[in-house]
C-alpha cells in the first residue's frame, strides 16, 4: 500500500520539476497557473495502480492535508472565521450546493431581522469537477473567479508552499496533488476576499476527503448515496455511507435525503457516535406539487432542492434571520431555487434544428435518472404520435467506469419510459478529446485516462458493439473527438431545418461523463 503512495508522490515530484521555478517567476498569467496546476495531476498508471490495489482512503489523509494547510500559513481553525456549510454525497451534491448558494445569495445585503449578527455580503461556492474552466470551481456570489483572481491566488499558494519547503530544508518541487492544491487555494481565496459564508462540496467520500479539514461547520448535508468510487470508498453502500458521514461534526446539525435502509442505518449510527442531530428531509410539499419552479428542471432535482431548503433554513436561522418561512416558501427561497444555474446538469440548449439535452450522469443510478429526465424532455416536446417520425441522437462516453453497463442501463431506462424499444435513431460514441485539430483547452487536459485506449478508440468501439447488440436499428458511429460528434448531429438536423424550435428539432442527449459535457459546451460555445 505504501509503495503505491510513494510511486504516486514520486510521479508528482518528477512532473512538477518539468516547470522550472525560473519560468514560473517570470510569468504569472492564468494560462501559466493552469499549466502549473496540470503538473499536479496523477497520471493514468498511478491512478490505475491505486484502483487495482483496492487501497481505501486512509487515516493519514487528513493529517497530511493539515500539514499542507499549515505550510500555506493557516491552521484549520482559521477557516472558522467564515460560516461554512459542508456537503457530501454520491449524487446531487454539486446541484444541492448550487441550490444552497443561490438561495443564500437572495439574502446578500439584508440585515438579520433578529437584530443580531451581520448581513451576508460574499458567499463562496467550492465544487468539482469543472466543465470548461478550472476557475469555475471557486466561485464568489455565484460567479467564477476572474482569470486575474485565479492567477493571483494560485501563485500566492504556490509561493507559500515553496517558501515553506525551502525553510524546512525540503524539495520545493514537491506539491500537493491537484484536488488538494485547489482546496487549499479555495480556502485561501475566501479568506483573502473576506467571504462571510461558503458552501464546500466534498470531492470523494467525506471522512478522509481533503475538504474535511473543516472543524466547525454551521450545518452539513448528505445527498443521495449510491455505489461509486469503490476503489477508495469500498464496494458496499454501508462502507460508502460511513465515509460520507465523516463530515458530521458535533454541534452542527446534519440533514440528509431519504436513503436506502442500509445507508440510513449507517448514517444514524455515525450521528449517534458523533453526537450529531440527523434529520431526514422528504421532498418539500411545494416542490412535489410543482407549484415552485426550479432552475434545474428534472424531477429528481426536487430531492436536491428540498435538502438545500432545509440546510439553507438552518443556516440562516443561525445567522439571525427569523422571517424565513419555508412552509410555505417565502419569495427569497423561491427566487433562489428558480435562479440557480448549474451548467451541464439537466441543461437544455437550442440551436437550429437541435434541442441539446445535457447532463453529466456517470453512475448507474444517475444514468437511469438522466434517462428519465430525457424521456420527460421528449414527452414535453413531441406528441406521442410524432415520436416515431422524429430523430433522436445520443452522444456518449465514459472512459474510466464500466461504459457498456452504463449504456445498457440508459437504453433500458429510455425504452421503458418512452415505450419505445428504439429510443435513438443515431448514437455517436466519442472520446473526451474536444477538438479535431487542437485537442484540449488547457483547463480540460486530463492525464488520468489510458492514452492507448483513447488513441485506439477501444472504449468507443466496445460501446458501439454493445449498442448494436441491444438495438441494431440505430445508426451508430465512432469518432475521436467531441467536435466530430457534434458535426454528425448537426448533419442529421439539416433535414429538419426551417421547421422552427420544438417542431422538427433533433432531440440530442449528451451524457456519460462530466468531462464529455464540459468538452461539448466548449464546442458549442466555440462553434455555434
Residue 416, C-alpha cell as written in the block: 421503458
Residue pointed to by grid coordinates 418561512: 325
Spatial distance between the Cα atoms of 121 and 228, rounded to a whole number of angstroms:
36
- What contacts 24+ positions apart, CB below 8 Å, involve 183-187? 183/65, 183/126, 183/210, 183/211, 183/213, 184/68, 184/69, 184/72, 184/157, 185/138, 185/153, 185/154, 185/157, 186/124, 186/126, 186/137, 186/138, 187/69, 187/74, 187/79
468 is in an annotated binding site: no
Residue pointed to by grid coordinates 429538419: 496
What pLDDT is attached to residue 476?
Answer: 96
Mean pLDDT of 415-440: 90
Taken in order 301, 348, 205, 218, the sign of the CA dihedral is: negative
359 is in an annotated binding site: yes
Spatial distance between the Cα atoms of 55 and 5, rounded to a whole number of angstroms:
10
201 is in an annotated binding site: yes
Task: Tell me the percentage of the chain whose pLDDT exceeds 70.
Answer: 87
380 vs 256: which has the higher pLDDT:
256
What's the Cα-to-Cα distance from 66 to each of 61, 156, 202, rounded to whole Å?
9, 18, 16
- pLDDT higher than threshold 50 for residue 431: yes
Phi-psi region of 124 (alpha: psi -120 to 50; beta: other; left: phi over 0): beta
Task: Tell me the percentage of the chain whose pLDDT exceeds 90.
Answer: 67
- pLDDT higher than threshold 70 for residue 443: yes
Mean pLDDT of 425-439: 93
pLDDT in tens, 139-189: 999 999 999 999 999 999 999 999 999 999 999 999 999 999 999 999 999
The answer to whether the CB of 407 falls within 8 A of the CB of 466 is yes
Spatial distance between the Cα atoms of 384 and 163, rounded to a whole number of angstroms:
66
- pLDDT higher than threshold 80 for residue 25: no
Residue 452 binned pLDDT confidence (cut-offs 50, 70, 90)? confident
Spatial distance between the Cα atoms of 409 and 511, rounded to a whole number of angstroms:
12
SS3 37: helix
What pLDDT is attached to residue 198?
Answer: 98
Q: Which of 183, 171, 207 is nearest to 72 (CA)?
A: 183
Looking at every residue in the chain, the average pLDDT score rounds to 88
389 vs 460: which has the higher pLDDT:
460
Spatial distance between the Cα atoms of 489 and 259, rounded to a whole number of angstroms:
38
The answer to whether the CB of 486 falls within 8 A of the CB of 351 is no
The answer to whether the CB of 65 falls within 8 A of the CB of 59 is no
- pLDDT higher than threshold 60 for residue 249: yes
What pLDDT is attached to residue 5?
Answer: 40
Spatial distance between the Cα atoms of 312 and 220, rounded to a whole number of angstroms:
10
- pLDDT higher than threshold 60 for residue 408: yes
Poorest-pLDDT segment among 101-115, 283-297, 454-468, 487-501 = 487-501
Say what the pTM is. 0.90
Mean pLDDT of 62-74: 97
Mean pLDDT of 451-480: 91
Residue 225, C-alpha cell as written in the block: 448515496
Spatial distance between the Cα atoms of 371 and 361, rounded to a whole number of angstroms:
9
What pLDDT is attached to residue 13?
Answer: 47
What's the Cα-to-Cα distance from 27 to each of 24, 34, 155, 216, 524, rounded to whole Å?
6, 12, 10, 38, 31
- pLDDT higher than threshold 60 for residue 46: no
Taken in order 8, 14, 15, 19, the sign of the CA dihedral is: positive
What pLDDT is attached to residue 272?
Answer: 98
Poorest-pLDDT segment among 292-301, 383-392, 460-469 = 383-392
Coarse DSSP helix, strand, coil percentages of the chain, rounded to the nearest 5 percent: 50, 15, 40
- pLDDT higher than threshold 80 for residue 10: no
pLDDT in tens, 231-248: 677 879 999 999 999 999
Spatial distance between the Cα atoms of 21 and 25, rounded to a whole number of angstroms:
6
Annotate 150-194 with three-state secondary structure: HHHHHHHHHHHHHHHHHHCCCCCCCCCCHHHHHHHHHHHHHHHCC
What's the Cα-to-Cα distance from 329 to each of 254, 300, 306, 387, 425, rounded to whole Å?
21, 19, 11, 38, 43
The answer for residues whose C-beta is within 8 angstroms of residue 157's C-beta and 6 or more apart is: 72, 181, 184, 185, 188
- pLDDT higher than threshold 90 for residue 419: no
pLDDT in tens, 314-362: 999 999 998 787 789 999 999 999 999 998 888 999 998 999 999 988 7
* Count helices and strands in the chain by DSSP H and E runs: 20, 14
What pLDDT is attached to residue 4?
Answer: 42
Residue 352, C-alpha cell as written in the block: 437550429
pLDDT in tens, 472-517: 999 999 999 999 999 999 999 987 654 444 457 899 999 998 999 9
128 is in an annotated binding site: yes
State which of 1-5, 154-158, 402-406 shows the largest mean pLDDT. 154-158
pLDDT in tens, 183-221: 999 999 999 999 999 999 999 889 999 999 999 999 999
pLDDT in tens, 382-394: 766 566 668 999 9
What pLDDT is attached to residue 421?
Answer: 80
Q: Compute φ and ψ for 427, nearest 5 degrees.
A: -135, 125
What pLDDT is attached to residue 366?
Answer: 85
Residue pointed to by grid coordinates 474510466: 400
Tell me how many degrees the CA angle 291-297-299 measures, rounded to the nearest 5.
80
CA dihedral 81, 85, 89, 94 (to 10 degrees): -100
Look at strands 138-140 and 475-478 and give their pairing: unpaired
Q: What is the CA radius of gyration of the chain?
A: 23
What pLDDT is attached to residue 406?
Answer: 83
What's the Cα-to-Cα distance from 424 to each of 28, 109, 388, 472, rounded to whole Å?
47, 49, 10, 11
What pLDDT is attached to residue 484?
Answer: 97
Amino acid at each position: 500500500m505504501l509503495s503505491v503512495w510513494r510511486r504516486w508522490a514520486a510521479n508528482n515530484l518528477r512532473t512538477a520539476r518539468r516547470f522550472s521555478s525560473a519560468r514560473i517567476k517570470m510569468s504569472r498569467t492564468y494560462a501559466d497557473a493552469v499549466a502549473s496546476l496540470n503538473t499536479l495531476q496523477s497520471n493514468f498508471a498511478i491512478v490505475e495502480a491505486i484502483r487495482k490495489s483496492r487501497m481505501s482512503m486512509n487515516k493519514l489523509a487528513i493529517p497530511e492535508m493539515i500539514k499542507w494547510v499549515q505550510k500555506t500559513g493557516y491552521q484549520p481553525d482559521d477557516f472558522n472565521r467564515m460560516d461554512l456549510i459542508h456537503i457530501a454525497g454520491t449524487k446531487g451534491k454539486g446541484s444541492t450546493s448550487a441550490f444552497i448558494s443561490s438561495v443564500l445569495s437572495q439574502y446578500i445585503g439584508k440585515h438579520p431581522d433578529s437584530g443580531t449578527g451581520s448581513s451576508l455580503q460574499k458567499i463562496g461556492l467550492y465544487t468539482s469537477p469543472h466543465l470548461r474552466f478550472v476557475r469555475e470551481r471557486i466561485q464568489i456570489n455565484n460567479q467564477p473567479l476572474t482569470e486575474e483572481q485565479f492567477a493571483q491566488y494560485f501563485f500566492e499558494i504556490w509561493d507559500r508552499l515553496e517558501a515553506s519547503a525551502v525553510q524546512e530544508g525540503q524539495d520545493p518541487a514537491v506539491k500537493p496533488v491537484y484536488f488538494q492544491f485547489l482546496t487549499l487555494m479555495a480556502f485561501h481565496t475566501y479568506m483573502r476576499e473576506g467571504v462571510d459564508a461558503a458552501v464546500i462540496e466534498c470531492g470523494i467520500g467525506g471522512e478522509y476527503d481533503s475538504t474535511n479539514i473543516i472543524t466547525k461547520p454551521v450545518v452539513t448535508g448528505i445527498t443521495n448515496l449510491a455505489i461509486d468510487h469503490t476503489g477508495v470508498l469500498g464496494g458496499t453502500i454501508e462502507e460508502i455511507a460511513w465515509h460520507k458521514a465523516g463530515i458530521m461534526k458535533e454541534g452542527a446539525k446534519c440533514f440528509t435525503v431519504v436513503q436506502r435502509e442500509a445507508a440510513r442505518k449507517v448514517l444514524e449510527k455515525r450521528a449517534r457516535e458523533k453526537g450529531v442531530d440527523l434529520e431526514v428531509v422528504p421532498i418539500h410539499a411545494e416542490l412535489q406539487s410543482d407549484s415552485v419552479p426550479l432552475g434545474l428542471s428534472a424531477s429528481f432535482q426536487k430531492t436536491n432542492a428540498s435538502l438545500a431548503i432545509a440546510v439553507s433554513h438552518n443556516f440562516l436561522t443561525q445567522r439571525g434571520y427569523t422571517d424565513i418561512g419555508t412552509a410555505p416558501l417565502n419569495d427569497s427561497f423561491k427566487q433562489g431555487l428558480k435562479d440557480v444555474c448549474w451548467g451541464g446538469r439537466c441543461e437544455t440548449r437550442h440551436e437550429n434544428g437541435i434541442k441539446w439535452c445535457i447532463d453529466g450522469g456517470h453512475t448507474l443510478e444517475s444514468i437511469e435518472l438522466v434517462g428519465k429526465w430525457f424521456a420527460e424532455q421528449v414527452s414535453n416536446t413531441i406528441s406521442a404520435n410524432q415520436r416515431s417520425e422524429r430523430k433522436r441522437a445520443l452522444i456518449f462516453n465514459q472512459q474510466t467506469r464500466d461504459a457498456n453497463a452504463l449504456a445498457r442501463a440508459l437504453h433500458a431506462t429510455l425504452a421503458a419510459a418512452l415505450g419505445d424499444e428504439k429510443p435513438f435513431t443515431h448514437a455517436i460514441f466519442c472520446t473526451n478529446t474536444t477538438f479535431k485539430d487542437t485537442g484540449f483547452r488547457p483547463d480540460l487536459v486530463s492525464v488520468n485516462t489510458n492514452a492507448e485506449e483513447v488513441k485506439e478508440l477501444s472504449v468507443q468501439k466496445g460501446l458501439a458493439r454493445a449498442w448494436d447488440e441491444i438495438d441494431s436499428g440505430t445508426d451508430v458511429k465512432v469518432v475521436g473527438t467531441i467536435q466530430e460528434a457534434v458535426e454528425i448531429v448537426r448533419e442529421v438536423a439539416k433535414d429538419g431545418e426551417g421547421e422552427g424550435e420544438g417542431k422538427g428539432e433533433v432531440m440530442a442527449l449528451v451524457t456519460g461523463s462530466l468531462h464529455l459535457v464540459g468538452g461539448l459546451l466548449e464546442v458549442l460555445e466555440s462553434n455555434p
